[in-house]
Amino acid sequence: MPDMARKTTTARKATVTALAWTVGFLIFFPVLWTFLTSFKTEGEAIAAPPSFLFFDWTVENYLTVNERSDYPRHFWNSVVIAVGSTLLGVLIAIPAAWSLAFVPGRRTRDVLMWMLSTKMMPAVGVLVPMYLIFRDTGLLDTKSGLVGVLTLVNLPIIVWMLYTYFKEIPAEILEAARMDGAGLRSEIIYVLAPMAVPGIASTILLNIILAWNEAFWTLNLAAAKAAPLTAFIASYSSPEGLFYAKLSAASTMAIAPILILGWFSQKQLVRGLTFGAVK
Amino acid sequence: MATQHSRTAARLMISPAVILLFLWMIVPLAMTLYFSFLRYNLLMPGMEEWAGFSNYRYFLTDPAFFTALRNTLVLVLGVLMITVTGGILLALLLDQPMWGQGIVRILVIAPFFVMPTVSALVWTNMFMNPVNGLFAHAAKAMGLQPYDFLAQSPLLSITLIVAWQWLPFATLILLTALQSLDSEQMEAAAMDGAGPLSRFVYITVPHLTRSITVVILIQTIFLLSVFAEILVTTNGGPGTASTTLTYLVYVQSMLQFDVGGGAAGGIVAVILANVVAIFLMRMIGRNLDA
């Protein structure tokens, strides 16, 4: 009997494995296909029947994209905008989340909910004034302008994520530190900071991903000079001639760094995007 | 435990975030509201004049508004249906014992990290294109006529692309919820003679309800402002066949330079989003105390 039970579980496990891998492969396929196409010639990219692995691999497209379209600059814009807005946001959010988590008052809940509500405002509702403000202050098509907007857009998520992490630091430890005569400053530096680092790191990671892929403000407020990769890739929507392989090369370079970061942040993703409602 | 001293410090530390968010919320929104009552076109600067409710009247009676409203509903509901159903099935599958679960998870989660412009362009060109797309190749290989996805059913095509992007999110959240399910409870139910189906209906489903609600509400917030996918694929067309509310406001304000009309549309979008937001806030607020 136990032998048979083991056999059915193994058979079942094999079936589940085969099914799960098939589904996983199908979902991942567009990404894989983009990656493969980026190494084809333009002719091979549209060939019928398409070849999956047995074609003449070439890095020509990567070279062309890098030379012709000023790709490095747009990549750099993405880095500056994503990292800059995240760090600025975290800098503003850490003290706020600290107070919300450790000095809760009657209004803590209201403040948190209100911050969340700002995230609910559809971007299109303030598109016109933001565009005019940017135009009149010379922020249109500048990296600093986009850093500012994305900081504000993601600030509620950053505060919330940090808050849920800080909340898990036991208050007794703080009390013990206070009993030992630690002031506010040393309390933060020696007691809280070491325990808060993992949470802060996760928050930074997730927000870099969100900012990197943000495609409303970046498309509307930066057309050329400061355009990050989202806007640069969008320029392929009105292509000239054969462009699949080049589109694939540009896309692969645009998504690879964030895909790798993203794979490390699966757990934080759930927590961050559900505002701590699902952990 | 908090002293007066630390309370003051706390208030000081929270104020930058609060003030910034307050300005971010109030200033542009107040401007939108103000513009929505003006006759204001960027092509005719200096001609602004009070327009009363005419922008709203114009926007709300424009046939494009109803099409956009309907398209928004179709897009949001379509994506929700695909991602929630697919997400539940996938989460149940991935929760089973298997070999290489970590790798499958990585494959499934990948689309979420692909930027919207990339996924939209890759899908429309390399898959849905009626001449060179993979689907066209497949159709021709089977002797069928290739289907022109974006011309024939633009809204459905965009719905599929967006659903592909959000399926991982639903799956991941539901999987996380499934994994927090108490296995002892399951075993106890099995010992009491509950079959797989009744265990699913009476234990798994109630356990997932809250996460499903979270998935639906959070996705709705993001789906209401789907923009890049429309911009790089169909430009809202043919005609207004794939124009959503967000896209309609964009067209009105950024392409037709009609600041007043765009602003009125923006306010309408804000009001509609708020209806959704109220539900989400209530639910997360309830969770805050738990």
Residues A204-221 pLDDT 10s: 998 999 899 999 999 999
Print the domain residue range for A12.
2-61
Provide the residue type at B191 as one letter: M
Q: Is A175 found in the same domain as A80? A: yes
Task: Tell me what the mean pLDDT of segment A145-149 comes to.
Answer: 95
Asked whether residue A240 carries a pLDDT value surpassing 80, the answer given is no
Show which of A61, A83, A101 is a domain's final residue. Answer: A61
Q: Chains A, B: CB contacts under 8 A, how many? A: 315
- Closest chain B C-alpha to A144 CA, distance in angstroms: 16
In this predicted model, which residue has the larger pLDDT, B279 or A3? Answer: B279
Total domains in chain A come to 2
Q: Which of A17, A155, A259 sits opposite B99 (nearest CB)?
A: A17
- Closest chain A C-alpha to B241 CA, distance in angstroms: 19
Q: Does A254 touch chain B (CB under 8 A)?
A: yes
Asked whether residue B288 carries a pLDDT value surpassing 60, the answer given is no
Print the domain residue range for B173.
54-289
Q: Is residue A81 part of a domain?
A: yes
Show which of A42, A61, A80 is a domain's final residue. Answer: A61
Total domains in chain B come to 1
- Closest chain B C-alpha to A126 CA, distance in angstroms: 6
Q: Is residue A161 part of a domain?
A: yes
- Give residue B285's pLDDT: 67
Q: Is residue B2 part of a domain?
A: no
- Give residue B197's pLDDT: 86
Q: Which of B35, B173, B245 sits opposite A129 (nearest CB)?
A: B35
Q: Is residue B18 part of a domain?
A: no
Q: Is residue B48 part of a domain?
A: no
Show which of A31, A61, A91 is a domain's final residue. Answer: A61
Nearest CA in chain A to B23: A152
Residues B192-211 pLDDT 10s: 888 888 888 888 888 888 88
Q: Is A249 found in the same domain as A153? A: yes
Q: Is A42 found in the same domain as A118? A: no
Tell me the C-alpha distance between B156 and B231, whole Å: 15
Give percent of chain A with pLDDT exceeding 70.
Answer: 94
Domain at A106, CATH number: 1.10.3720.10
- Give residue A15's pLDDT: 92
pLDDT tier for residue B68 given thresholds of 50, 70 and 90: very high
**Cα–Cα nearest to B156, from B71, B235, B220, B88:** B71
Residues A168-177 pLDDT 10s: 888 787 778 7
Tell me the C-alpha distance between B72 and B149, whole Å: 19
Q: Is A82 found in the same domain as A33? A: no
Residues B141-196 pLDDT 10s: 898 888 889 888 999 999 999 999 999 999 999 998 898 887 788 888 888 888 88
Q: Is residue A278 part of a domain?
A: no
Residues B107-151 pLDDT 10s: 999 999 999 999 999 999 999 988 888 999 899 889 888 888 988
| DSSP β-bridge partners for residue B38 | B50
Q: Is A49 found in the same domain as A166? A: no
Residues B248-258 pLDDT 10s: 999 998 898 88
pTM of the predicted model, to two decimals? 0.90
Q: Is A134 found in the same domain as A214? A: yes
Q: What is the ipTM of this complex?
A: 0.88
Q: Is residue A279 part of a domain?
A: no
Domain at B210, CATH number: 1.10.3720.10
Q: Is A184 found in the same domain as A150? A: yes
Residue A59: CB partners within 8 Å, gap ≥ 6? A39
Residues A80-139 pLDDT 10s: 999 999 999 999 999 999 889 888 888 888 888 888 788 778 888 898 899 999 999 999
Q: Is A185 found in the same domain as A86? A: yes
Tell me the C-alpha distance between A271 and A252, whole Å: 27
**Cα–Cα nearest to A115, from B142, B171, B15:** B15
Query: Each residue of B96-105: b (16+ CB within 10 Å) or e?
Result: eebeebeebb
